[in-house]
């Protein structure tokens, strides 16, 4: 399945408090807290990174999912709906599918020249909102009407370097949920977990090579800056 992914992250300092507010905003729980392992693959010369693309194999509960992400391209069929979205949102074209045998796929990646380059772990809780929670149009530009089919999700990620929420959906819906939660847009992030990890390493001087719980013990945790 291929779709446009429009999202924002923000740091969370009261996970239970945030979750308690979600049902009142129209969210329902899709997936309870579940351990997630992710491995990014690339060529030895980091060709995918240079092209701002990722190839990821995820193990989430009992499921294996392979995902490719790339920047949107105005000239590519199907990408037009995601073009023109403000730079304050992270916009990627995501193609992903379930796979039956993750280790077998990893072996295939190796045979065609793709090797593991980064691993990251988290506990993820997934919530979704079935209907818009705002009055009026979701988009000010009628050209974006095709984005009405974009899902509306909030996930809570407990990572070795702090807790984050991620909102995915139409930009106006994201803005409305941020306002209802009292989140300052200035604290929102478009960085990947890989970038957040590198920034954390720079701040702390950690020698960890991967964003995993075994490499980053709880005693080394540095929470994101307060809202």
Instruction: Give the model confidence (pLDDT) of 213-223 as tens digits.
Output: 999 987 665 44
Tell me how many degrees the CA angle 60-147-123 measures, rounded to the nearest 5. 20
In angstroms, what is the C-alpha Rg of the chain?
18
Residue 174, pLDDT score: 95
Longest dimension (CA), the chain: 52
Q: Is the pLDDT of residue 227 over 50?
A: no
**Is pLDDT above 70 for 85?**
no
Count how many residues are written for the chain. 227
| Beta-carbon contacts of residue 34 (< 8 Å; ≥ 6 apart) | 60, 61, 123, 124, 125
**pTM over cut 0.85:** no
Phi, psi of 159 (to 5 degrees): -110, 165
pLDDT computed for residue 73 by the predictor: 75
Q: What is the pLDDT of residue 5?
A: 86
pLDDT tens-digit series, residues 166-185: 999 999 999 999 999 999 99
Average pLDDT of the residues in 108-129: 98
Indicate whether 130 pLDDT > 80.
no
Using the CB atoms, write b or e for 62-87: b if 16+ within 10 Å. eebbbbbbbebeeeeeebbbbeebee
Higher-confidence position of 167 and 88: 167
Question: Is pLDDT of 226 > 90?
Answer: no
pLDDT value of residue 118:
98
């Amino acid at each position: 399945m291929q779709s446009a992914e429009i999202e924002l992250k923000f740091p969370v300092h009261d996970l239970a408090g945030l979750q308690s507010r979600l049902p009142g905003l129209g969210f329902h729980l899709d997936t309870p807290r579940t351990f997630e392992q992710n491995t990014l693959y690339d060529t030895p010369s980091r060709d995918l990174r240079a092209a701002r693309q990722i190839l990821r194999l995820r193990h989430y509960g009992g499921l294996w999912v392979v995902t490719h992400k790339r920047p949107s391209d105005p000239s590519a069929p199907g990408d037009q709906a995601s073009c023109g979205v403000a730079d304050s949102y992270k916009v990627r074209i995501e193609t992903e599918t379930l796979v039956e045998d993750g280790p077998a796929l990893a072996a295939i990646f190796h045979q065609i020249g793709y090797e593991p380059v980064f691993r990251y772990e988290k506990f993820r809780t997934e919530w979704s909102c079935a209907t818009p929670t705002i009055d009026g149009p979701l988009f000010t530009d009628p050209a974006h009407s095709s984005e009405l089919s974009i899902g509306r999700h909030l996930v809570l990620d407990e990572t070795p370097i702090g807790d984050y929420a991620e909102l995915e959906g139409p930009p106006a819906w994201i803005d409305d949920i941020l306002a209802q939660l009292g989140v300052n847009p200035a604290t929102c992030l478009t960085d990947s977990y890989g970038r957040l990890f590198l920034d954390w390493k720079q701040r702390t001087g950690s020698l960890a090579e991967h964003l995993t719980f075994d490499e980053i013990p709880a005693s080394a945790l540095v929470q994101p800056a307060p809202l």
